[in-house]
């Protein structure tokens, strides 16, 4: 029997150490003298044993074949070399025929000399257009000699290089303007943290582009037909810097708009400098968007250069590589714009949702599909986004009331008969019914695509090693490390709290149900259950409890958490034991649940169990289902911790190994591979962590 989700009154569990339930040796040594075994359970056990034997036999057979093949290859005798072929001698066909007399034909004299090429290219006088009141310095352009490649093509090529140089100088002057007038300006009205929030790594970008101008200018001054420019772009340090600036741009623009009205010194400073020669007769917003606009300009100029580069020119292939490199960044900018549009949509949608327990608006989130359907025979509304999914009640006066969420990180979609399908995740089991089969197929396809994308992204982010590469200034990296350390501390506290609550669930299950079951089975006057049935229900629950007691103690020892604290040493000590115990528990769970269901068919046991459930307001079936989800919860917790761990730290490599092991375990033991009986037990209601009584 299940009580209310929020009003479960559970007495505090007995002390963790020194109680009589540290093991079940007394129960394991007991045996049934009079009561017969349960036929259904015996049959299920035999079937599980046969399956294990088949797997072992197949594995043994495969290993034998591999060993035999390796031995045969190793013991293969060395064959002697083959003798040369014994061909018969060629027949005697006599002397060769006489050769014909040589022809006395002289070729006609060729006296055609190519006309001398004396074409001097017209002088090229290219000057960049002035920007504001600061004209770019003049460029000393040598006359480009041309004798290998077509003159007109190389003339255009040189013209494009010159335009890249002139616009680059203008761009550098705008970057330096932001640095001098805001980043390094002490009296601009903003604090250092506010400057970093708005201008991000502009100073580093300006420094890199300033060093980029020198090689460009050298290329123009010492131009020859075989000069190349693509290497300057392929080896440019500033390419990686733009992603961080792009990520911060939307937030920076909003901050500037907000601070114009709320920070009076900043408002005054902008009023004095904007649209004046001091700021090149422009405003701050125009300067902030300049780096975003520069990337497409590079692509256009390089594409123009590619058109006028001969195929046999040294720069022909590499220009295409440079274009692809920068276009990747421009695509990233376009994606960010789409996400900004999605943010506006989400903000409008959030006003229609009631009781949502999390923030819906996120830059990376977009609505994928939504629509009405039945959830467990009740009319509901399903919402699927690019990273989350949840269910609400049907609209009432244009508003939707939140009902429950679905964890896409661990979700599995399964097809059912008719127009129904089910979603199995760590949040429980959801059975959805669509209006028709066609609509069901659409939902299944979209859900599978979204779930695969979410899970792939989670793994990629967990195992990425370049999150702390040189993508910005030292100040930015220090700030990033500080944020990561803060996130790790929060995740540690969340894991500790979760582990305490889970241990409380195990203790409550033991004291409320399993200890009475053990005592009843050991009572010789008992007729409602056998000792073997009690063993099958309790199984290795006490061992699970003991290992989680040890984990809680180890986690508590990490308090207070510091920037140098690690979590991998705890799991290094317990991970193999955890995997072994949970593998045993999950494989045995079908026997456990069948035994419980068969016992409840007896009136005396069913009445006794109902009394226990009524007193505790808990359900034994639900409590026994809690361990089935713990390994998925560990996987999510450690994967999140890994994302906020410095890849250069010792903790990173160890955590990566644990996340891999947990991912393999969860892939092996997904709920879809368990018997239908287990699924039915989960369907009663989602087991929840139980609050400790205050």
Domains 151-341 and 466-683 share a fold: yes
Residue 474 — very low, low, confident or very high, per pLDDT cuts 50/70/90? low
Domain ranges of the chain: 151-341, 353-451, 466-683
Residue 478 — very low, low, confident or very high, per pLDDT cuts 50/70/90? low
- Long-range contacts of 165-168, Cβ-Cβ distance < 8 Å, separation of 24 or more: 165/139, 165/213, 165/216, 165/217, 165/219, 165/220, 166/126, 166/127, 166/128, 166/136, 166/139, 167/128, 167/297, 167/301, 168/209, 168/212, 168/213, 168/216
Q: In this predicted model, what pLDDT tens digit does every residue of 27-81 receive, in sequence order?
A: 655 555 555 666 767 777 777 777 777 777 776 776 677 676 666 655 555 444 5
Q: In this predicted model, what pLDDT tens digit does every residue of 499-551 receive, in sequence order?
A: 999 999 999 999 999 999 988 888 878 778 888 888 899 988 889 999 999 99
**Residue-level pLDDT at 70:** 63
Residues contacting 207, CB < 8 A, separation 6+: none
The class of domain 353-451 in CATH terms is mainly beta
Q: In this predicted model, what pLDDT tens digit does every residue of 392-407 receive, in sequence order?
A: 999 988 899 999 888 8
How far is Cα 123 from Cα 565, in angstroms, rounded to an integer? Answer: 68
Residue 383 near residue 398, CB atoms below 8 Å: no
Query: Quick check: 313 pLDDT over 70?
Result: yes
Residue 8 has phi, psi (to 5 degrees) of: -105, 115
Comparison of pLDDT for 147 and 43, the residue scoring more = 43
- Give the percent of the chain with pLDDT over 90: 16
Query: Quick check: 132 pLDDT over 60?
Result: no
How far is Cα 445 from Cα 442, in angstroms, rounded to an integer? Answer: 5
560-573 average pLDDT score = 87
**Residue-level pLDDT at 684:** 36
**Residue-level pLDDT at 85:** 44
Find the range with the poorest average confidence among 240-249, 334-343, 390-399, 678-687. 678-687
Comparison of pLDDT for 402 and 632, the residue scoring more = 402
Q: In this predicted model, what pLDDT tens digit does every residue of 178-207 receive, in sequence order?
A: 999 998 887 888 888 888 888 888 988 898
CATH for the 151-341 domain, from 3.40.630.30, 1.20.900.10, 3.40.30.20, 3.60.10.10: 1.20.900.10
Residue 557, both tokens: 């020892």
Residue 248 near residue 215, CB atoms below 8 Å: no
103-108 average pLDDT score = 44
**Residue-level pLDDT at 581:** 92
155-175 average pLDDT score = 89
How far is Cα 214 from Cα 233, in angstroms, rounded to an integer? Answer: 13
Query: Quick check: 465 pLDDT over 60?
Result: no
Find the range with the poorest average confidence among 284-293, 369-378, 472-481, 574-583. 472-481
Strand partners, 424: 412, 429
Give the highest mean pLDDT range of 130-139, 305-314, 450-459, 606-615: 606-615
Query: Quick check: 118 pLDDT over 60?
Result: no
Domain 466-683 has CATH 1.20.900.10: yes
How far is Cα 517 from Cα 609, in angstroms, rounded to an integer? Answer: 9
Residue 283 has phi, psi (to 5 degrees) of: -120, 175
Q: Where are the alpha helices (DSSP H) in 222-283?
A: 230-234, 241-262, 264-273
Query: Quick check: 452 pLDDT over 80?
Result: yes
How far is Cα 381 from Cα 288, in angstroms, rounded to an integer? Answer: 42
**Residue-by-residue DSSP string for 269-334:** HHHHHTTSGGGTT--HHHHHHHHHHHHHHHHHHHHHHHHTS-TTSTTHHHHHHHHHHHHHHHHHHH
Quick one: how far is CA 133 from the chain centroid? 48
């Amino acid at each position: 029997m299940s009580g209310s989700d929020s009003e479960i009154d559970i007495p505090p569990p007995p002390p963790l150490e020194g109680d009589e339930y540290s093991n079940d040796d007394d129960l394991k040594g007991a045996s049934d003298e009079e009561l017969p075994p349960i036929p259904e359970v015996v049959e299920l056990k035999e079937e599980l044993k046969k399956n294990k034997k088949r797997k072992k036999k197949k594995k043994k057979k495969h290993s034998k074949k591999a060993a035999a093949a390796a031995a045969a290859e190793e013991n293969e005798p060395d064959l002697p070399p083959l003798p040369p072929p014994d061909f018969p001698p060629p027949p005697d066909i006599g002397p060769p025929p006489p050769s014909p007399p040589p022809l006395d034909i002289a070729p006609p004299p060729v006296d055609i000399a190519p006309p001398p090429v004396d074409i001097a290219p017209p002088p090229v006088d290219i000057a960049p257009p002035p920007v504001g009141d600061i004209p770019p310095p003049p460029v000393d352009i040598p006359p480009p000699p041309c004798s290998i490649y077509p003159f007109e093509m190389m003339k255009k090529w040189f013209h494009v290089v010159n335009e890249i140089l002139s616009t680059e100088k203008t761009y550098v002057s705008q970057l330096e303007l932001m640095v001098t007038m805001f980043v390094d300006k002490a009296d601009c009205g903003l604090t250092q943290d506010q400057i970093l929030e708005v201008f991000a790594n502009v100073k580093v970008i300006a420094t890199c582009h300033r060093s980029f101008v020198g090689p460009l200018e050298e290329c123009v001054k010492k131009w020859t037909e075989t000069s190349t420019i693509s290497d300057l772009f392929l080896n440019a340090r500033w390419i990686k810097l733009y992603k961080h600036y792009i990520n911060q741009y939307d937030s920076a623009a909003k901050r500037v708009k907000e601070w114009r009205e709320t920070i009076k010194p900043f408002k005054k400073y902008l009023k004095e400098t904007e649209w004046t020669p001091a700021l090149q007769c422009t405003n701050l917003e125009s300067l902030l968007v300049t780096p975003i606009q520069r990337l497409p300009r590079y692509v256009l100029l390089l594409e123009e250069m590619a058109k006028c580069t001969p195929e046999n020119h040294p720069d022909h292939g590499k220009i295409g590589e440079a274009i692809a490199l920068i276009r990747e960044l421009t695509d990233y900018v376009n994606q960010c714009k789409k996400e900004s549009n999605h943010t506006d949509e989400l903000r409008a949608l959030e006003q229609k949702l009631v009781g949502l327990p999390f923030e819906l608006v996120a830059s990376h989130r977009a609505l994928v599909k939504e629509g009405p359907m039945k959830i467990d025979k009740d009319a509901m509304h399903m919402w699927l986004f690019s990273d989350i999914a949840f269910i609400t009640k049907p609209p009432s006066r244009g508003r939707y009331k939140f009902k429950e969420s679905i964890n896409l990180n661990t979700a599995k979609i399964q097809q059912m008969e008719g127009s129904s399908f089910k979603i199995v995740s760590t949040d429980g089991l959801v059975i959805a019914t669509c209006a028709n089969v066609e609509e069901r197929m659409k939902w299944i396809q979209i859900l599978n695509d979204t779930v695969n994308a979410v899970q792939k992204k989670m793994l990629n982010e967990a195992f990425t090693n370049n999150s702390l590469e040189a993508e910005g200034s030292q100040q930015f990296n220090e700030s990033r490390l500080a944020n990561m350390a803060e996130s790790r501390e929060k995740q540690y506290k969340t894991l500790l709290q979760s582990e305490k609550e889970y241990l409380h669930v195990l203790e409550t299950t033991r004291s409320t149900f399993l200890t009475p079951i053990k005592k009843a089975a050991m009572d010789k006057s008992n007729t409602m259950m056998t000792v073997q049935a009690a063993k099958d229900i309790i199984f290795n629950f006490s061992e699970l409890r003991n290992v989680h007691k040890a984990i809680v103690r180890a986690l508590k020892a990490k308090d207070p958490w510091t920037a140098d604290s690690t979590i991998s040493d705890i799991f290094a000590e317990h991970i193999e034991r955890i995997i072994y115990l949970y593998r045993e528990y999950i494989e045995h769970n079908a026997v456990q649940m069948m035994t419980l269901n068969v016992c409840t068919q007896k009136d005396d046991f069913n009445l006794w169990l109902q009394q226990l459930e009524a007193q505790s307001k808990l359900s034994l079936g639900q409590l026994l289902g809690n361990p089935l989800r713990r390994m998925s919860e560990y996987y999510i917790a450690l994967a999140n911790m890994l994302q906020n761990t410095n890849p250069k730290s010792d903790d990173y490599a160890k955590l990566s190994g644990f996340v891999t092991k947990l991912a393999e375990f969860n892939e092996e033991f997904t709920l879809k591979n368990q018997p239908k009986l287990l699924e039915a037990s989960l369907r009663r209601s989602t087991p929840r962590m139980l609050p400790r009584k205050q």
